Amino acid sequence: MAGTRKELLPSGYVQGWFLDATGAQRFFKGTKSHAETLRIAQRIEDDHRQVKLGYHPPPKSFDKARARTFEDVTLEYLAHGRACGGIGGRPWSAEHAVKRDAGLTWWRVKLGLATLADLDGILPRVEKALRELQDAGKANLTIQHRATCLTAFCGWCVQHGLLGEDPLKMLVAYPKQAKHTRRAMTAEEVQKLLEACNPARRLTYETALSSGLRANELRLLTPADLDAARGGLKLRPDWTKNRRHGFQPLPSSVMARLVEASKGKRPDEPILIVGEHTARDLDKDLERAGLLKHGPGGKVDFHALRVAYTTFVIESGANIKEAQALARHSTPDLTLNTYARARQDRLAEIAEAVGRAALPAVEALPALRTGTDDAPITPETEQKYVTGMLRGSAQSHKIRPINTLTNGRAESHALPPVKNKDLQERNTVEQNRDTVAQGRTYPNGAQEVKPKNSEATAQNLNVRGQSQGKAAQEKYVEGMFSSDADFARLASTWPGLPPHIKAAIMALAGTVKP
Q: Is residue 167 in some structural domain? A: no
Q: Answer yes or no: do 271 and 386 share one domain.
A: no
Residue 351 falls inside a structural domain: no
Report how far residue 509's alpha carbon sits from residue 194's, in angstroms, rounded to the nearest whole number. 48
- CATH number of the domain residue 233 falls in: 1.10.443.10
Is 91 domain-assigned?
yes
Q: Residue 398: its pLDDT value, please?
A: 37
Which among 339, 356, 388 is the end of a domain? 339
Q: Are residues 54 and 80 in the same domain?
A: no
pLDDT score of 139 = 87
In a domain, 360, yes or no: no
Residue 181 in domain? no
What pLDDT score was predicted for residue 244?
Answer: 85
Residue 221 sits in the same domain as residue 322: yes
Do both 38 and 151 map to the same domain?
no
Whole-number pLDDT of residue 429: 45
Closest CA to 352 of 344, 456, 168: 344
Residues spanned by the domain of 237: 187-339
221 with 331, same domain?
Answer: yes
Residues 30 and 155 in one domain: no
Residue 40: CB partners within 8 Å, gap ≥ 6?
Answer: 16, 28, 30, 31
Query: Alpha-carbon distance 382 to 362, whole Å?
Result: 15
Q: What is the pLDDT of residue 451?
A: 42
The whole-number pLDDT of residue 86 equals: 85
How far lies 40's CA from each of 13, 17, 37, 52, 57, in Å?
14, 9, 5, 19, 21
Note whether residue 370 is domain-resident. no
What pLDDT shows up at residue 490?
67
SS (HEC) of 199-214: HHHHHHHHHHHHHCCC
Between the CA of residue 227 and those of 205, 234, 258, what are the distances in Å? 20, 6, 10
d(CA 456, CA 489): 10
Q: Is 394 helix (H, G, I), strand (E, B) or coil?
A: coil
169 in a structural domain: no
- Tell me whether residue 314 is in a domain: yes
Last residue of a domain, one of 317, 339, 361: 339
Residue 465 near residue 473 (C-beta atoms within 8 A) = yes
Q: How far apart are CA 180 and CA 182, in angstroms?
A: 6
Q: Does residue 286 share a domain with residue 411? A: no
Q: Can you tell me the distance from the alpha carbon of 205 to that of 457, in angstroms, rounded to the nearest whole number?
A: 62
Q: How many domains does the chain have?
A: 4
- 3-class SS of residue 336: helix
Profile the chain (514 residues) by mean pLDDT over runs of 10 residues.
91 93 91 94 92 83 85 96 88 90 96 94 96 93 93 95 92 79 94 96 96 94 95 90 90 96 94 93 96 92 96 95 95 94 91 87 47 50 54 42 35 39 47 44 43 45 44 50 61 68 64 38
Both 198 and 255 in one domain: the answer is: yes
Please write down the long-range contacts of 426-435, taking CB distance under 8 Å and 24 or more positions apart: 426/468, 426/472, 427/468, 427/472, 427/475, 427/476, 430/464, 430/467, 430/468, 430/472, 430/476, 431/476, 431/479, 434/460
Q: Quote the pLDDT of residue 360.
A: 72
233 and 315 in a single domain? The answer is yes
Do 77 and 114 lie in a common domain?
yes
Q: Are residues 434 and 481 in the same domain?
A: yes
201 and 334 together in one domain: yes
Global pTM exceeds 0.75: no
